């Protein structure tokens, strides 16, 4: 068990890699009454083709999400009910890159953790339960297809990526999930839910030794093979399409624009790239930036405007957008802003303010046990520690952020997705 104290933020990180390959990260917070645990696998909706024991295997779209739905089933009941009966708040999610199961509780943490580790590592599926779930997930898929937010987002991904499966919805399609059987689920669970491909993140009032001991006791002792993933042919440097448009029942046009990044694969270089990108986006699109304040004052954007930097399934992208009755006007203003930064440089005061603001947001994350747990899970899968960000951010300079902006927000790299109101 490794223990490191981060003096600059007054936090302690306890880490352990078990002989079975499981990475455990714990941030003890004895001054709080609550605790949070996340048990995650490096397996998401985009992991549909993989190599195991030298053989390539193809699976239907939606298996990772389907597994998430079914993992709470146990021979003698449902894990959600068990955890809830003990006062815990359990849930799970599947993204393109990971699947995570988590809970928060103020009491009986050790018992709840043991339940979490047990049901996630012990699958229980039947042909009948899988068939029933196909109907439930099928309804969920249809609801997503009618959601403008999902449509505008996935249309943008279809612009950015020609072949990478991140362009497809995590839940799959009604047709693809019809191909999923209980044998499919058992097989993919065995492949991806092995401890070598998983991580456990815990934040709160816990005994670290008990956390590690529970994982040692309840999980398989031997490491498993971590499969190689195939995300399709390498995409071109420019977007697959520049624009996608759709019409739906919306009161005003919704839009997202984005750009693909070349992701740093692992370690401190990944963490640094993330920090540079997040500061850059804050400098250009943050609520105190000239771009945002000017467009807001002119009525081109409203408070729905947001931005994010996303790394998943071997990809990285920046995405921004919201609601506007003049999307063309927003995009023209954006192009002018990037041209101005390219010509005049990024204002130094703006950079310093964005850097300070981002440092503050990192500090606030320390108070969010769920966000911190997910950050540690993401870091475990990419070999970096989120707590190192507080030192690494000091090394980021104006030129780093300016280069990020001028390299990744160029006209030829940007793609646009718009959902407009139906014509009457």
Q: Are 62 and 172 in contact (CB under 8 A)?
A: yes
Strand 254-261, strand 243-248: pairing = unpaired
Please tell me which residue in 68, 278, 323, 337 is annotated as part of the active site.
68
Report the alpha-carbon distance of residue 79 to residue 2 in Å, rounded. Answer: 31
Q: What are the backbone dihedrals phi and psi of residue 12, each rounded to the nearest 5 degrees, phi first?
A: -115, 135
Report CA 315 to chain centroid distance, whole Å. Answer: 11
Helix %, strand %, coil % of the chain (to 5): 45, 25, 35
Which residue, chain included where needed, has tokens 């696998």?
41
Helices (H) and strands (E) in the chain, counts: 15, 17
Q: What is the DSSP letter of 387?
A: G
The token duo for 119 is: 């049901």
E strands present in 156-305: 198-204, 228-229, 243-248, 254-261
Terminal CA-to-CA distance of the chain, rounded, Å?
A: 65
Residues 322 and 301: beta-carbon distance below 8 Å: yes
What's the sign of the alpha-carbon dihedral 110, 223, 70, 203?
A: positive
| Burial class of residue 67 in the structure, from the number of CB atoms within 10 Å of its CB (0-12 exposed, 13-18 middle, 19+ buried) | buried
Which element (helix H / strand E) includes 292?
Answer: helix 290-297
Strand (E) positions, 184-314?
A: 198-204, 228-229, 243-248, 254-261, 306-312
**In the numeric block, which tokens belong to residue 394?**
């000091």
Residue 224's alpha-carbon distances to 65, 120, 297, in angstroms, are: 22, 16, 56
Q: Is 68 a catalytic residue?
A: yes
Can you state the angle between helices 398-408 and 327-344, rounded to 10 degrees? Answer: 140
Would you please indicate which residues are annotated as catalytic (active-site) residues? 68
């Amino acid at each position: 068990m490794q223990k490191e104290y981060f003096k600059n933020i007054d936090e302690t990180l306890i880490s352990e890699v078990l002989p079975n390959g499981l990475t455990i990260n714990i941030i003890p917070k004895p001054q709080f009454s609550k605790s949070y645990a996340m048990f995650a696998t490096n397996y998401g909706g985009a992991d549909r083709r993989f190599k195991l024991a030298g053989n390539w295997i193809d699976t239907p779209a939606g298996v990772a999400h389907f597994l998430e739905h079914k993992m709470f089933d146990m021979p003698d009941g449902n894990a959600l009910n068990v955890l809830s009966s003990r006062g815990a708040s359990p849930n799970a999610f599947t993204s393109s890159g990971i699947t995570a199961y988590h809970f928060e509780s103020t009491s009986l943490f050790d018992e709840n953790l043991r339940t979490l580790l047990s049901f996630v590592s012990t699958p229980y599926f039947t042909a009948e339960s899988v068939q029933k779930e196909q109907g439930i997930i099928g309804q969920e898929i249809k609801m997503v297809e009618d959601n403008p937010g999902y449509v505008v987002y996935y249309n943008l991904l279809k612009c950015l990526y020609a072949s990478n499966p991140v362009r497809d919805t995590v839940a799959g399609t009604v047709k693809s999930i019809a191909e999923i059987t209980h044998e499919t689920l058992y097989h993919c669970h065995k492949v991806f839910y092995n401890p070598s491909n998983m991580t456990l993140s815990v934040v709160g009032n816990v005994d670290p030794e008990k956390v590690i001991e529970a994982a040692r006791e309840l999980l398989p002792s031997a490491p498993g093979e971590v499969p190689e993933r195939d995300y399709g042919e390498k995409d071109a440097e420019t977007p697959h399409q520049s624009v996608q448009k759709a019409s739906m029942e919306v009161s005003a046009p919704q839009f997202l624009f984005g750009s693909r990044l070349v992701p740093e694969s692992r370690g401190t270089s990944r963490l640094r790239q993330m920090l540079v990108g997040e500061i850059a986006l804050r400098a250009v699109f943050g609520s105190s930036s000239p771009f945002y304040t000017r467009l807001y004052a002119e009525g081109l954007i409203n408070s729905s405007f947001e931005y994010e930097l996303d790394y998943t399934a071997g990809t990285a992208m920046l995405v921004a957008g919201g609601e506007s009755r003049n999307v063309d006007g927003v995009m023209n203003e954006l192009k002018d802003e990037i041209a101005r930064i390219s010509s005049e440089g990024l204002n130094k005061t703006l950079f310093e303010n964005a850097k300070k603001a981002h440092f503050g947001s990192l500090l606030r994350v320390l108070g969010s046990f769920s966000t911190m747990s997910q950050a540690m899970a993401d870091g475990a899968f990419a070999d970096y520690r989120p707590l190192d960000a507080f030192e690494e951010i000091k090394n980021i300079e104006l030129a780093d952020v300016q280069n990020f902006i001028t390299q990744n927000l160029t006209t030829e790299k940007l793609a646009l997705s718009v959902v407009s109101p139906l014509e009457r």
